[in-house]
Amino acid sequence: MNHHVFKDLVPSYMEHLTSEETNRQMEVHMEQCKNCREYLHDMQEDWLSENEHEQAKEDRNVDYLKKVRSKNRKKILTIVTSLLSLFLILIIGYYLLYIKMWIAEPNDVQTTIQKQGNTVNLTFTSKQDNRYLLLRKEQLNQDYIDNMIVYEMREDLSTPENLMDGINITYTFLDENTLLLNNGKEKKLTADDKISIQYKDSTKELSLMDLYYFDN
C-alpha cells in the first residue's frame, strides 16, 4: 500500500468503515512508515478536537435552551400567579365591599310603616348623612317569604344620580287574608307568609298578616 492510498483511507479507517483486510494492510503499512503513523495520529487528534468542539457547542446550545425554557416557565408561573392573586383580590374585595361591608347596620336604618286603606308602604331610610340604601328583594319559596337585604352605599364620585334617600316597598291587600301581587294575581296568606329583612348582623321578620292590621 502506497502513501497516497493510505492517506485516502484514513478518514474511513477512523470511522471504522474499512474492511478487516484493508485495516490489516494499513496497520502493516504503518509499521513500516513513520510518516503515515504520524499522519494518522495527527488526523485522530484533529478529529477528537473537532468532536470535542462540536460536543461543547451542542452542550452550550442545550444549556441555552434549558435556560430559555426555565425563564419561560418562570415567566408563565409569574403571570399565572399574578392572575390568580388578582382574581383572589377581586373576589375578596367583592365580598368585603358588596357582601359584607355594604350590608347596612340595623341601627343605621330607619324603617317606617304607613298604611292607607288596604295599601301598606315600608320605607327604609339611612340615618347617616351622605348615605344611600340599596335593597335586594327576592321571593324565597311558595309560602311567599320576601327576603330583603339592605345595603348601604356611601356617597362618592361614582354614586349614581338616581339613588334615593329612602326605599319604598308597597304591599296591596284585597282583604285581611289576600295579597295582590305585582303580576295581578292574588295570594292567599297564611301565618307562614312573612317579610325577612336582613342586615349585617341580624335579621328582622314581619308577618304579612300582621302588616295588614298595622295601625299608624
Query: Going by C-beta distance under 8 Å and a sequence separation of 6 or more, which residues neighbour residue 113?
Result: 120, 121, 122, 123, 211, 214, 216
- Which single residue is written with the C-alpha cell 383580590? 89
Domain boundaries, the chain: 3-75, 106-212
Query: Going by C-beta distance under 8 Å and a sequence separation of 6 or more, which residues neighbour residue 196?
Result: 140, 145, 146, 147, 148, 203, 204, 205
Which comes out higher in pLDDT, residue 101 or 89?
89
Measured CA to CA, the distance from residue 125 to residue 132 in angstroms comes to 8
Task: Using alpha carbons, list the distances in angstroms from residue 153 to 17, 50, 159, 201.
Answer: 88, 77, 8, 17
pLDDT of residue 159: 52
Residue 192: pLDDT band (50, 70, 90) is confident
Of 53-57, 174-178, 201-205, minimum mean pLDDT range: 53-57
Q: Is the pLDDT of residue 111 over 70?
A: yes
Residue 157: pLDDT band (50, 70, 90) is very low
Q: What is the overall mean pLDDT for the chain?
A: 79
pLDDT digits (tens, 9 = 90+) for 58-76: 767 666 677 777 778 888 8
Residue 179 burial (C-beta neighbours within 10 Å; 0-12, 13-18, 19+) = buried
Query: For the chain, what percent of residues have pLDDT higher than 70?
Result: 80
Query: Kindly report the CA angle at 180 between 179 and 185, in degrees rounded to 5?
Result: 115
Residue 100: pLDDT band (50, 70, 90) is very low
Query: Going by C-beta distance under 8 Å and a sequence separation of 6 or more, which residues neighbour residue 52?
Result: none
Range 160-175 average pLDDT: 76
Residue 187: pLDDT band (50, 70, 90) is confident
Q: Is the pLDDT of residue 144 over 70?
A: no
Residue 137: pLDDT band (50, 70, 90) is confident
The model's pTM is 0.48
Q: Which of 197, 12, 175 is nearest to 123 (CA)?
A: 197
- What residue type is assigned to position 25 of the chain? Q
Of 6-10, 43-47, 146-150, 162-166, minimum mean pLDDT range: 162-166
pLDDT digits (tens, 9 = 90+) for 124-134: 888 887 777 77
Rg (alpha carbons) of the chain, rounded to whole number: 45
